[in-house]
């Protein structure tokens, strides 16, 4: 499952970040921000228009991601 | 102290994730007053300071922009990377890196600490925000963490008076040895190991924050709150500042009148009353308003609300070719476009950054407030609307809104023009909420007041005197009819410019005021005051209120046209200078100047002709 498909209040465990191309800066940055295998994430809120951006908690930090960014993060579902 | 103390590092640099309190520590260590605020990307440039340790050594401290990683994605992160790695052209490699980490956000921050450690340079770790960590029930075994990391660790509370004493002592002590570099270290795995070994986290996340966020970020309530906050600011700036402003105006007027009576007639009297008091005094009246605006801006900055507003507006701004990340630079531009344009350094995407820089001058900066206030005071009745709002406040709100709407429109057109389909990144961190400290707020306000007064007493005073001179000489020939100012340099320039500006309703007095207004927008007001004071002749010695003159001499159409002109007017040279510096060239300066002038002229033309036609 992708992080962009998670409903509000849902979450999961990160499996990995998929890079789109060999030099995907956004994917590298996502990993640096803590989106790495084994980390628990949850979706806290959506922006008012088109459910974008997605507010995600990873560790103790909260990040707002666009849908295309969230779609790079692959999750393993987890019952809340 | 051992002999080794003599060889201690004297160049240190503060590095760490954004928003961990580096600048707050820098300020406590060095007694500086660099900007501290609760969002990522406040510091965008290296800042230098000094302090003397207890043992009497002078230490040079460098405050760096925050970075999530040395794999830099924005101009501010590049500075940090270059300084830490010793690649910066103007900065020697620091002798000691003071890595700062937010104790409430260690999972993210320790990873970067480890990345810094991999440089293999002498370093120590300052665990900042220990007060907030204690409140949340986060317990950190500092000795254990230091042992596991292999570097000294100190606890700090940067916002408390003696909160950085431990750090100060550590910097003064024996310099730590260079840490060992572990080849192929998995930073995330190591972070997890450290957390397990030395940190006890509470089971629950901050519940109150989540509850606040559920309301503040709600699709409907969130936007309603944002609208209400913005609206409140403009109502307050107009309605609450008025009494203070009137008092200041009365004060300067009576001092001016007293001076006029005390001095003998002549050029000196005219310079002081028509030039200095009419001109500078008129600008001074706006101090309360500007300070009130800053009470709001500073409170919002410290609360942590701004990145939330950016979150709410991201999609809208994205549709217009900007990004949620543009929100804070644009909001700062309400104070002044220069820090706003500098703040765009934290925008990762270069296209978004350029677009933000180009529209930043459309945000109504505080220097335009005097112009707006003067004209609104003269042409808009002070009336209650719906028993709740002040009509003048509503018009002011409308002017700000017109600036914002124009910025969105211009950015949209530029986006069409570029026709790029590439992806734009957001990746915006939302910080914890914090109460603003009244002391910091007062210091911030004091600073704004000092900046404003410095501006008034230097550039504005100088320009006013210059304008008085140009408007007084050469004197009218003997026996000439009409006001003397018609014969002066300024009068001639004004009359010469008039045909160009007649279609948009500007008379020659306004044309004169436009020129010094290029250097500083407020000067347009002081210049008008000077020009009218001189034109009135010396019989009218008492300084009458500029607002009254304007109301009686100008038509409504002219007043509105000038108001609209100032929404767009490309009238500030320092803004162009900073655009040139931040974009490394004149191209964007030319684009900004041309489009702003064209918009200003077109919008004023439309306003003037429509109003003339309707009235
Ligand atoms: N409670 C508490 N708040 C702190 C402490 N240190 C800093 N802050 C707050 O943390 C926020 C960020 O502080 P800054 O000093 O601007 O952070 P920075 O690391 O310089 O941030 P950037 O320049 O964006 O990288 C501000 O709201 C400070 O008031 C602390 O020890 N305790
Ligand atoms: Mg800073």
Q: Which H helix or E strand runs over B238?
A: helix B221-239
Question: Checking DSSP bridges between strand B389-390 and strand B96-102, what pairing results, if any?
Answer: unpaired
Flag whether B43 is in a domain: yes
What is the C-alpha separation between B64 and B440, in angstroms, rounded?
Answer: 21
- Two tokens at B195? 């957390």
Flag whether B352 is in a domain: no
**Gap from B434 CA to chain A (nearest CA, Å):** 15
What is the C-alpha separation between B293 and B237, in angstroms, rounded?
Answer: 6
CA B43-B48-B51 angle, 5° bins = 125
Can you tell me the mean pLDDT for B496-520?
85
What is the C-alpha separation between A27 and A17, in angstroms, rounded?
Answer: 6
Residue B311: the pLDDT is 94
Can you tell me the mean pLDDT for B479-504?
80
pLDDT in tens, B165-222: 999 999 988 888 899 888 888 999 999 999 999 998 887 767 888 899 999 999 999 9
Q: Decide if pLDDT at B8 tops 60.
A: no
pLDDT in tens, B548-583: 778 888 888 998 999 999 899 876 788 888 899 889
| C-beta of B434 in contact with ligand 1 (< 6 A) | yes
Confidence of residue B417 (pLDDT cuts 50, 70, 90): confident
Measured over the CA atoms of residue B518, residue B524, residue B530 and residue B536, the dihedral's sign is positive
Residue B482: the pLDDT is 63
Can you tell me the mean pLDDT for B26-52?
92
Q: Decide if pLDDT at B138 tops 50.
A: yes
What is the C-alpha separation between B301 and B453, in angstroms, rounded?
Answer: 23
How would you list the strands of the sheet with B153-155, edge to edge?
A: B47-52, B58-63, B11-16, B96-102, B123-128, B153-155
- Two tokens at B71? 């794999």
Alpha helices in B391-472 (DSSP H): 391-418, 438-455, 461-472
- Two tokens at B273? 């009353």
Mutate to test the interface with B, among A51, A64, A73 (most CBs of B within 10 A): A64
Atom of ligand 1 nearest to the CA of B163: 31
Of the listed ranges B111-125, B489-503, B519-533, the least confidently predicted one is B519-533
pLDDT in tens, B287-327: 887 888 888 889 999 999 999 999 999 999 988 888 888 99
Of the listed ranges B319-323, B490-494, B532-536, B595-599, the least confidently predicted one is B532-536
**Gap from A76 CA to chain B (nearest CA, Å):** 19
For B404, B443, B556, B592, the CA distances from B159, given in Å and listed in that order, are 35, 13, 52, 40
Task: Output the CA B159–ligand 1 centroid distance in Å.
Answer: 8
pLDDT in tens, B419-433: 766 777 888 999 999
Flag whether B190 is in a domain: yes
Can you tell me the mean pLDDT for B509-515?
84
Length of chain A: 80
Q: Is B205 on the interface with A (CB under 8 A)?
A: yes
Half-sphere CA count of B197, side-chain side, radius 13 A: 14
Residue B96: the pLDDT is 93
- B396/B302: higher pLDDT: B302
What is the C-alpha separation between B610 and B322, in angstroms, rounded?
Answer: 32
Residue B537: the pLDDT is 55
Helix H, strand E, coil C: the string for chain A is: CEHHHCCCCCEEEEEEECCCCCCCHHHHHHHHCCCCCCCEEEEEEEEEECCEEEEEEECCEEEEECHHHHCCEEEEECCC
Q: Cβ contacts of residue B607 below 8 Å, gap of 6+?
A: B504, B557, B560, B561, B563, B564
Domain that residue B106 falls in: 3-201
Say if pTM beats, i.e. exceeds, 0.80: yes
- B479/B302: higher pLDDT: B302
Task: Output the CA B114–ligand 2 centroid distance in Å.
Answer: 20
- Two tokens at B389? 């709002």
Q: Cβ contacts of residue B481 below 8 Å, gap of 6+?
A: none
Cβ B343 vs Cβ B332: under 8 Å: yes
Question: Checking DSSP bridges between strand B58-63 and strand B11-16, what pairing results, if any?
Answer: parallel
Report chain B's mean pLDDT, rounded to a whole number.
86
pLDDT in tens, B236-278: 776 787 788 778 878 877 887 888 788 787 777 777 777 777 7
Residues pairing with B58 in the sheet: B52
Q: How many domains does chain B have?
A: 1
What is the C-alpha separation between B537 and B516, in angstroms, rounded?
Answer: 22
Q: What is the CATH number of the domain that holds B170?
A: 3.40.50.300
Can you tell me the mean pLDDT for B480-489?
71
Which of A29, A36, A47 lies at the smallest CB-CB distance from B427?
A29
Q: Which residues of A touch B (CB under 8 A)?
A: 25-26, 28-34, 36, 38-39, 44-50, 52-53, 55, 57, 59-66, 68-69
Q: Decide if pLDDT at B12 tops 90.
A: yes
CB contact under 8 A, A60 and B311: no
Atom of ligand 1 nearest to the CA of B160: 31
Q: Decide if pLDDT at B383 tops 80.
A: no
CATH, domain range A3-77: 2.30.30.90
Cβ A34 vs Cβ B17: under 8 Å: no
Which of A26, A59, A64 lies at the smallest CB-CB distance from B311?
A64
Q: Give me the interface pTM, i.e. the ipTM.
A: 0.94
pLDDT in tens, A35-79: 999 999 999 999 998 888 999 999 889 999 999 999 999 998 765
CB contact under 8 A, A33 and B68: yes
CB contact under 8 A, B315 and A52: yes
> B141: helix, coil or strand?
coil
Alpha helices in B240-304 (DSSP H): 242-262, 267-270, 281-284, 287-303
Identify the burial level of B73 via C-beta atoms within 10 angstroms of its C-beta, where 0-12 means exposed, 13-18 middle and 19 or more buried.
buried
Residue B303: the pLDDT is 94
**Domain residue ranges of chain A, discontinuous segments joined by +:** 3-77
Phi, psi (degrees; rounded to nearest 5) at A76: -110, 130
| C-beta of B23 in contact with ligand 1 (< 6 A) | yes
Q: Is B105 on the interface with A (CB under 8 A)?
A: yes
Residue B338: the pLDDT is 86
Confidence of residue B479 (pLDDT cuts 50, 70, 90): low
Length of chain B: 615
Residue B213: the pLDDT is 92
| C-beta of B158 in contact with ligand 1 (< 6 A) | yes
């Amino acid at each position: 499952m992708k992080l962009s498909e998670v409903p509000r209040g849902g979450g999961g465990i990160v499996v990995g970040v998929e890079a789109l191309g060999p030099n995907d800066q956004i994917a590298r940055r996502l990993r640096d921000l803590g989106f790495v295998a084994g980390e628990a994430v949850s979706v806290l809120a959506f922006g008012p228009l088109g459910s974008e951006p997605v507010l995600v908690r990873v560790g103790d930090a909260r990040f707002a991601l666009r849908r295309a960014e969230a779609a790079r993060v692959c999750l393993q579902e987890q019952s809340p | 102290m051992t002999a080794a103390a003599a060889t201690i590092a004297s160049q240190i640099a503060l590095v760490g994730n954004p928003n961990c309190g580096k600048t707050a520590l820098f300020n406590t260590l060095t007694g500086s007053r660099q900007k501290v605020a609760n969002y990522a990307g406040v510091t965008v440039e290296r800042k230098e300071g000094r302090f003397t340790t207890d043992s009497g050594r002078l230490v040079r401290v460098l405050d760096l922009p925050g970075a999530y990683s040395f794999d830099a994605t924005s101009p501010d992160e590049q500075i940090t990377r270059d300084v830490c790695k010793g690649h910066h052209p103007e900065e020697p490699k620091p002798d000691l890196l003071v890595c700062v980490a937010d104790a409430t956000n260690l999972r993210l921050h320790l990873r970067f600490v480890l990345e810094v450690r991999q440089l293999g340079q002498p370093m120590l770790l300052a665990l900042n925000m220990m007060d907030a960590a204690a409140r949340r029930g986060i317990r950190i075994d500092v000795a254990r963490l230091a042992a596991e990391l292999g570097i000294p660790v100190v606890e700090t509370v940067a916002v408390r008076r003696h909160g950085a004493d431990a750090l100060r002592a550590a910097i003064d002590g024996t310099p730590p040895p260079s840490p060992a570099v572990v080849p192929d270290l998995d930073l995330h795995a190591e972070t997890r190991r450290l957390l397990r070994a030395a940190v006890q986290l509470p089971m629950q996340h901050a519940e109150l924050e989540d509850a606040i966020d559920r309301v503040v970020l709600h699709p409907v309530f969130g936007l309603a709150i944002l609208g209400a906050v913005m609206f409140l600011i403009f109502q307050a700036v107009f309605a609450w500042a008025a009494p203070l402003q009137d008092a200041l105006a009365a004060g300067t007027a009576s001092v001016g009148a007293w001076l006029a009576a005390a001095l003998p007639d002549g050029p000196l009297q005219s310079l002081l009353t028509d030039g200095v008091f009419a001109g500078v005094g008129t600008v001074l009246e706006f101090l309360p308003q500007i300070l009130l605006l800053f009470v709001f801006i500073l409170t919002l900055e410290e609360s942590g609300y701004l990145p939330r507003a950016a979150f709410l507006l991201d999609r809208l701004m994205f549709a217009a070719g900007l990004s949620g990340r543009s929100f804070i630079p644009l909001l700062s531009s309400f104070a002044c476009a220069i820090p706003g344009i500098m703040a765009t350094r934290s925008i990762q995407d270069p296209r978004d950054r350029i677009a933000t820089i180009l529209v930043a001058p459309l945000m109504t900066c505080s220097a335009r407030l005097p112009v707006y206030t003067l004209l609104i005071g003269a042409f808009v009745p002070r009336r209650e609307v719906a028993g709740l709002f002040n009509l003048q406040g509503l018009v002011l709100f409308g002017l700000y809104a017109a600036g914002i709407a124009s910025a969105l429109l211009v950015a949209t057109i530029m986006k069409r023009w570029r026709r790029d389909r590439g992806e734009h990144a957001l990746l915006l961190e939302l910080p914890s909420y914090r109460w603003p400290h009244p002391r910091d707020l007062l210091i911030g306000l004091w600073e704004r007041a000092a900046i404003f007064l410095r501006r008034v007493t230097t550039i504005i005073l100088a320009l006013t005197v210059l304008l008085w001179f140009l408007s007084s000489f050469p004197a009218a020939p003997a026996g000439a009819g009409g006001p003397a100012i018609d014969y002066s340099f300024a009068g001639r320039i004004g009359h010469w410019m008039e045909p160009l500006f007649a279609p948009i309703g500007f008379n020659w007095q306004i044309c004169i005021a436009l020129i010094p207004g290029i250097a500083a927008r407020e000067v347009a007001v002081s210049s008008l005051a000077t020009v009218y004071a001189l034109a009135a002749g010396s019989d009218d010695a008492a300084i009458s209120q500029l607002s009254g003159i304007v109301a009686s001499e100008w038509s409504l159409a002219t007043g509105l046209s000038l108001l609209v002109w100032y929404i767009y007017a490309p009238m500030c040279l320092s803004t162009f200078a900073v655009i040139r510096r931040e974009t490394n060239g004149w191209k964007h300066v030319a684009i900004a100047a041309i489009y702003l002038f064209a918009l200003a002229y077109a919008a004023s033309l439309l306003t003037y002709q429509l109003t003339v036609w309707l009235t």
